[in-house]
């Protein structure tokens, strides 16, 4: 159940499950999907309670690599997140640990960095100032691009979560916001397309984050879009203030 209080901390889901809040201890736990409409037992306090039929099934292919296989789990996560983001984020577990989404985002950053950086070898005007790009310096450039992308994603997730807290007006889980941003990073593979790929990846990343925030935090569409755009708007305001022409006295 989305947006509920509690501090979820359970292992990654390995099959379709539901997330329920115990009415006794108010902890969030995973339960088999077949318990919908029946009786669930809280593993924390042992209390039995009714599991509503309307509770959505949650499932993340990337967190089921043991059942699907590594490549299938990767392809299903990337494909579904890009093509059907509403269904994808509607089934995304609100929690399940930090490692799985972090490893996915790291992999997407690595693949996009490795795949996109060769174009810098072919386009002299795209090379970094003060840095001579050769085959010898290419591995260092790839590492730089990967670390830069990871840092940007982490900073972006922190700013977005702050915006979610302000717009939602109630407690929200940082891990949920991080999972939205991390699992939206599959669109970074669009950066492999020459010329139009990088801006297209950035634009679609904003779209996926807006959809994910709306589904995961139960925000209105307008608030979700504003939260997803908040780091961009903040950066724009800072740059406009930094480069504003001085007023003549």
pLDDT tens sequence across 9-27: 333 444 566 766 666 665 6
Q: Which residue has the higher pLDDT, 217 or 57?
A: 217
Q: Which residue has the higher pLDDT, 249 or 239?
A: 239
Q: Which residue has the higher pLDDT, 239 or 177?
A: 177
Same-domain status, 154 and 213? yes
- Give the relative orientation of helices 174-183 and 99-116 as an angle to the nearest 10 degrees: 30
How far apart CA 247 and CA 41 sit, in angstroms, is 68
How far apart CA 28 and CA 7 sit, in angstroms, is 7
Structural domain total, the chain: 2
Q: Has residue 1 been placed in a domain?
A: no
Residue 40 bridge partners (DSSP): 49
Q: Is the predicted pLDDT of residue 180 greater than 70, yes or no?
A: yes
Same-domain status, 90 and 46? no
pLDDT tens sequence across 89-108: 988 887 778 888 999 998 88
230 within 8 A of 159, measured Cβ to Cβ: yes
Same-domain status, 41 and 163? no
Predicted model pTM: 0.71
How far apart CA 138 and CA 23 sit, in angstroms, is 56
- Return the pLDDT at 213: 94
Q: Has residue 2 been placed in a domain?
A: no
Q: Whose CA is closest to 149, among 194, 125, 115?
A: 115
Same-domain status, 94 and 192? yes
Same-domain status, 122 and 220? yes
Burial class (CB in 10 A: 0-12, 13-18, 19+), 104: buried
Q: Has residue 160 been placed in a domain?
A: yes
Q: Has residue 225 been placed in a domain?
A: yes
Q: Which domain holds residue 37?
A: 17-50
pLDDT tens sequence across 38-56: 777 777 787 877 777 655 6
Structure tokens given for 174: 């940082």
| Highest mean pLDDT pick, 59-63, 92-96, 128-132 | 59-63
Q: Has residue 60 been placed in a domain?
A: no
13 within 8 A of 93, measured Cβ to Cβ: yes
pLDDT tens sequence across 107-124: 888 888 776 666 555 555
pLDDT tens sequence across 209-244: 999 999 888 899 999 999 999 988 888 887 777 666
Structure tokens given for 59: 């499932």
């Amino acid at each position: 159940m989305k947006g509920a209080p509690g501090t979820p901390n359970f292992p990654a889901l390995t099959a379709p499950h539901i997330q329920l809040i115990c009415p006794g201890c108010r902890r969030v736990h995973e339960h088999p999907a077949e318990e919908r409409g029946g009786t669930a037992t809280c593993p924390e306090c042992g209390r039995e309670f009714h599991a509503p039929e309307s509770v959505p099934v949650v499932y993340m292919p990337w967190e089921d690599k043991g059942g699907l296989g590594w490549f299938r789990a990767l392809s299903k996560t990337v494909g579904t997140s890009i093509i059907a983001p509403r269904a994808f984020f509607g089934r995304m577990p609100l929690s399940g640990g930090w490692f799985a989404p972090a490893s996915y985002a790291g992999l997407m950053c690595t693949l996009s960095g490795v795949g996109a950086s060769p174009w810098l070898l072919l386009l002299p005007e795209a090379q970094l100032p003060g840095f001579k790009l050769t085959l010898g310096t290419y591995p260092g450039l790839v590492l730089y691009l990967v670390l830069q992308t990871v840092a940007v994603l982490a900073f972006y997730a922190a700013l977005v979560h702050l915006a979610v807290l302000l717009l939602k007006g109630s407690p929200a889980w940082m891990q949920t916001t991080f999972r939205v941003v991390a699992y939206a990073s599959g669109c970074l593979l669009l950066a492999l397309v020459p010329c139009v790929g990088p801006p297209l990846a950035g634009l679609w990343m904003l779209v996926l984050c807006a959809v994910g925030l709306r589904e995961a935090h139960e925000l209105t569409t307008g608030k979700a879009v504003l939260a997803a755009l908040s780091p961009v708007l903040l950066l724009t305001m800072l740059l406009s203030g930094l480069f504003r022409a001085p007023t003549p006295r």
